[in-house]
A and B are shown apart, each in its own frame.
Chain A
Amino acid sequence: MPLVKKGEIVADAYLHLGDEAEIPENDSALVLAARFLADPEAILNRGHSTGVIWPNNRDLDELVPYLGKLGVVALVFPTFRDGRAYSQARLLRERYGYKGELRATGQVLRDQFVLMVRAGFDAFDVRKDADADAFAATVKRYSVFYQPTGDGRVTALHRRMQARLAANTP
């Protein structure tokens, strides 16, 4: 599955570890939440970047203390129809101030890219090659946004206010 970051297909710098695999001492690793929580300090103190795959039904409170030390938080869309990770993404970005990579994983399809970007994702484990190729064009499809989210795009309501202000300023 191609990984898309900053609009481009890139190599994944993280080793994806199952529950059994040994955690590498000298490589960046992406581990499952349960394994991470079993001994977070040991994993974080390896001297290499750590990412955590966080399930969409697990409370973020357990993850929050470690956010500053994580390189990646990978949220999961078991199917594209299950939208829980959108809420998690916004909370991580907007409430808990998470600044690292926020990766969408699972059934990540073209038709949800815009929503994901707006919710705060900046890396995408895209299911289909054609969708990954189309990423840059797809996220430019929309130019109007009604909701304020952490992605900072100006909302329609505020664009109108600005337009009005500009019209009234000689």
Chain B
Amino acid sequence: MYAYDEIDRTLVNERVSEFRDQVKRRLSGELTEDEFKMLRLMNGVYLQLHAYMLRVAIPYGTLSAPQLRKMAHVARRYDRGYGHFTTRQNIQFNWIKLADLPDALEDLASVGIHAMQTSGNCVRNVTTDQWAGVAPGEVEDPRIWAELLRQYSTMHPEFTYLPRKFKIAITASDHDRAAIKVHDIGLRLLKNASGETGFEVLVGGGLGRTPFIGKVIKPFVAGRDILSYVESILRVYNQYGRRDNIYKARIKILVHELGIEKFSAEVEEEWQAMRDSALQLDDEIVADIRSRFQYPGYQTLSDTPDELTAASADPQFERWLNNSVAKHQKPGYAIVTLSLKPIGGPPGDATADQMDAIADLADKYSFGEIRVGHEQNLALPNVAKRDLPALWQRLDELGLATPNVNLITDIIACPGLDYCSLANARAIPIAQELTRRFANHELAEMIGRLHINISGCINACGHHHVGHIGILGVEKNNAEFYQITIGGRADEGAVVGTLIGPAVPYDDVANVIEDIVESYLALRARPDELFYQTVERLGVEPFKERVYATR
């Protein structure tokens, strides 16, 4: 965990007090809605279909137990008793009143949590691998760099009114759990030949109306130079990014229009002019940030404790163990994913009671630490293997042990037309129906790893382009229709999926997905050929034929 010091806390408190003043001026009419809108967005406040929504940042996906309890408190006191975890390591409260917002933010600030820059045309919450610091084989803990970037980008005097929003993600593992290739800047932590820590820098990835996979702009930027290099990218973007059309304003369009060579030359020129500035990080500064991440005092424990062996006789436990528990850096410990995707439930929601219970379990079993991943699930990153059976019992009682992590019912979905004023179509009920269709765990296991992503509109908050199966809600003659893409990927091999054909109506979506899955089961070369691999091998044609043969 990163511990905020007095300096960080002061800034968060000053921000809350500023926002309190802004809300007051809005309520008195001193600020127009046009003037207030950007200010509230930069404090995480959206106006949705039915109410204001507050999006709170969970920097690099790490939460302490007291922080999660405070989220539960906000859900209970100011909202309707639940929160929604998003695809960018944030939590959203959907029913909050404008006049209550400053108080809610003040409560969150008391545990070092804030909503700064979770929206607006600024640098958003810097995200990373939810297994950072515990994943075997990672280069080093990417959260140190995420925290440096968080501080650097918070209230940046030059880059708070960019052409459009700006998202940065970091991975330190070969298997990219942070989806860096679909971010405005993607950073892959690595060591160069001389053992120096640095980053491969990608730029111009993004989804939305015009999806692009990020391109490598520089194969290696040393850690000490990362802030100046990011600043160079932001400065070129701030000056030349399009501001005439909101749909062409993201950096991906600038990179695309200029071409990566020209864009990188512009950045390089800018960087050469300022790389030796005060932004250069010396080892001491990095060490200072590193020293404020506290790591658990791990014990020397057996990697095959008796408790685990005994519990493995229970097939339900065994199924959960195989599905939701991952290898840890330390022997005797494991990373446990908590599925927020119960059969029939809205993806990514957690009730206040669940949050409190998870915080208690984190205290008891995970050194007080909780993680939030972009797949809208939570994780307890530091569980002693001997405690797994006891933990599973409790999670099962809480409805948090559905053994469907990375399976077809582990669906990513945006809030869609149930909440969002931008949406064309509902996303949550589609997800709920699909989880019912594939509720049988044997079937889901037989299908294997398969990511379904659902967005209720072209803004693509559900990352449908990079779902193995992507479902995009569109409006057609005042009715909800859905375009289906297949073969997308969000990981290190990121690729945008291919549309299989005309959009299908709301009632037919689950049938179409069943047809696609049945085709896959019939077509796969071997049981361990994953869905996207079959699509890669055969193309979309056989799936298309099957889906549209009778439609």
Categorize the interface residue count of chain A. Answer: 20 to 34
| Cα separation A116 to B160 with both chains bound (whole Å) | 11
A-contacting residues, B4-58, CB 8 Å: 5, 7-8, 10-11, 14, 17-18, 22, 30, 35, 38-39
CB-contact partner of B274 in A95, A115, A164, under 8 A: A95
| Cα separation A159 to B7 with both chains bound (whole Å) | 9
* Contact of A90 with B by CB under 8 A: yes
* Contact of B298 with A by CB under 8 A: no
Q: With A95-B273, A161-B284, A161-B285 in contact, is A146–B151 under 8 Å at CB?
A: yes
| Cα separation A115 to B155 with both chains bound (whole Å) | 8
Q: How far is the CB of A67 from chain B (nearest CB, A)?
A: 16
* Contact of A144 with B by CB under 8 A: yes
Contact indicator A141/B152 (Cβ below 8 Å) = no
B17: A residues at CB distance < 8 A: 141
Segment with Cβ contacts to A, from B235-243, B345-353, B483-491, B501-509: B235-243
Contact indicator B288/A164 (Cβ below 8 Å) = yes
Contact indicator B274/A87 (Cβ below 8 Å) = no
CB-contact partner of A156 in B7, B38, B156, B273, under 8 A: B7
| Cα separation A126 to B94 with both chains bound (whole Å) | 36
Segment with Cβ contacts to B, from A9-17, A31-39, A76-84: A76-84
Interface centre among A87, A119, A143, A159, by most chain B C-beta atoms within 10 angstroms, is: A87
| Cα separation A149 to B159 with both chains bound (whole Å) | 12
| Cα separation A169 to B238 with both chains bound (whole Å) | 43
B-contacting residues, A128-166, CB 8 Å: 130, 141-149, 155-157, 159-161, 164
Contact indicator A90/B30 (Cβ below 8 Å) = no
B158: A residues at CB distance < 8 A: 83, 86-87, 90, 115, 119, 149
Contact indicator A109/B35 (Cβ below 8 Å) = yes
User: Which A-chain residue is minimally distant from B274 (CB atoms)?
Assistant: A95
* Contact of A19 with B by CB under 8 A: no
Q: With A86-B158, A156-B8 in contact, is A111–B288 under 8 Å at CB?
A: no
| Cα separation A109 to B157 with both chains bound (whole Å) | 15
Contact indicator B10/A143 (Cβ below 8 Å) = yes
Q: How far is the CB of B385 from chain A (nearest CB, A)?
A: 38
| Cα separation A41 to B162 with both chains bound (whole Å) | 35
User: Which A-chain residue is minimally distant from B286 (CB atoms)?
Assistant: A157
* Contact of A118 with B by CB under 8 A: yes
User: Which A-chain residue is minimally distant from B121 (CB atoms)?
Assistant: A81
| Cα separation A116 to B155 with both chains bound (whole Å) | 12
* Contact of B278 with A by CB under 8 A: yes
A-contacting residues, B103-162, CB 8 Å: 121, 151-152, 154-162
B289: A residues at CB distance < 8 A: 157
Q: How far is the CB of A16 from chain B (nearest CB, A)?
A: 24
Residues 176-199 of chain B, each 1 if its beta carbon lies under 8 Å from chain A, else 0:
000000000000000000000000
| Cα separation A112 to B17 with both chains bound (whole Å) | 15
* Contact of B444 with A by CB under 8 A: no
Categorize the interface residue count of chain B. Answer: 35 or more
Contact indicator A146/B161 (Cβ below 8 Å) = no
CB-contact partner of B11 in A118, A130, A142, under 8 A: A142
CB-contact partner of A87 in B7, B22, B30, B239, under 8 A: B239
Q: Majority SS of interface residues in chain B?
A: helix
| Cα separation A157 to B30 with both chains bound (whole Å) | 36
* Contact of B395 with A by CB under 8 A: no
| Cα separation A147 to B238 with both chains bound (whole Å) | 17
Contact indicator A83/B159 (Cβ below 8 Å) = yes
B152: A residues at CB distance < 8 A: 146-147
A144: B residues at CB distance < 8 A: 7-8, 10-11, 14
| Cα separation A10 to B35 with both chains bound (whole Å) | 25
B-contacting residues, A107-125, CB 8 Å: 109, 111-112, 114-116, 118-119
A161: B residues at CB distance < 8 A: 284-285, 288
Contact indicator A83/B11 (Cβ below 8 Å) = no
Contact indicator B161/A80 (Cβ below 8 Å) = yes
| Cα separation A159 to B284 with both chains bound (whole Å) | 13
CB-contact partner of B278 in A87, A114, A130, A148, under 8 A: A148
CB-contact partner of B161 in A86, A118, A141, A164, under 8 A: A86
* Contact of B279 with A by CB under 8 A: yes
A155: B residues at CB distance < 8 A: 278
Q: How far is the CB of A11 from chain B (nearest CB, A)?
A: 26
Contact indicator B35/A160 (Cβ below 8 Å) = no
| Cα separation A141 to B238 with both chains bound (whole Å) | 26
User: Which B-chain residue is minimally distant from A117 (CB atoms)?
Assistant: B157
Contact indicator A80/B151 (Cβ below 8 Å) = no
| Cα separation A113 to B161 with both chains bound (whole Å) | 13
Contact indicator A83/B238 (Cβ below 8 Å) = yes
A-contacting residues, B263-282, CB 8 Å: 273-274, 277-279
| Cα separation A115 to B273 with both chains bound (whole Å) | 23
| Cα separation A119 to B159 with both chains bound (whole Å) | 10
B161: A residues at CB distance < 8 A: 80-83, 86, 112
User: Which A-chain residue is minimally distant from B284 (CB atoms)?
Assistant: A161
Residues 19-46 of chain A, each 1 if its beta carbon lies under 8 Å from chain B, else 0:
0000000000000000000000000000
Contact indicator A118/B157 (Cβ below 8 Å) = yes
Interface centre among B8, B39, B278, by most chain A C-beta atoms within 10 angstroms, is: B278
CB-contact partner of A141 in B18, B38, B274, under 8 A: B18
| Cα separation A103 to B35 with both chains bound (whole Å) | 21
User: Which B-chain residue is minimally distant from A147 (CB atoms)?
Assistant: B156
CB-contact partner of A83 in B10, B162, B274, B279, under 8 A: B162
Contact indicator B274/A157 (Cβ below 8 Å) = no
Contact indicator A111/B238 (Cβ below 8 Å) = no
B-contacting residues, A64-84, CB 8 Å: 80-84
18 contacts between A and B (CB under 8 A): A80-B35, A82-B243, A83-B160, A84-B243, A86-B157, A86-B158, A111-B18, A114-B155, A115-B160, A143-B14, A146-B11, A146-B152, A146-B154, A147-B156, A149-B158, A156-B8, A160-B7, A164-B288
Given A83-B160, A142-B155, A156-B7; 15 other pairs, CB 8 A cutoff? A81-B38, A82-B243, A83-B162, A87-B239, A90-B157, A90-B158, A95-B273, A111-B39, A114-B155, A130-B30, A146-B151, A147-B152, A147-B157, A149-B157, A164-B288
Kindly list the 8 A-B residue pairs having the minimum CB-CB distance in the complex, ordered from nearest. A83-B161, A118-B157, A148-B278, A144-B11, A146-B151, A86-B158, A115-B157, A156-B7
On B, residues with C-beta under 8 Å from A are 5, 7-8, 10-11, 14, 17-18, 22, 30, 35, 38-39, 121, 151-152, 154-162, 235, 238-239, 243, 273-274, 277-279, 284-285, 288-289
On A, residues with C-beta under 8 Å from B are 80-84, 86-87, 90, 95, 109, 111-112, 114-116, 118-119, 130, 141-149, 155-157, 159-161, 164
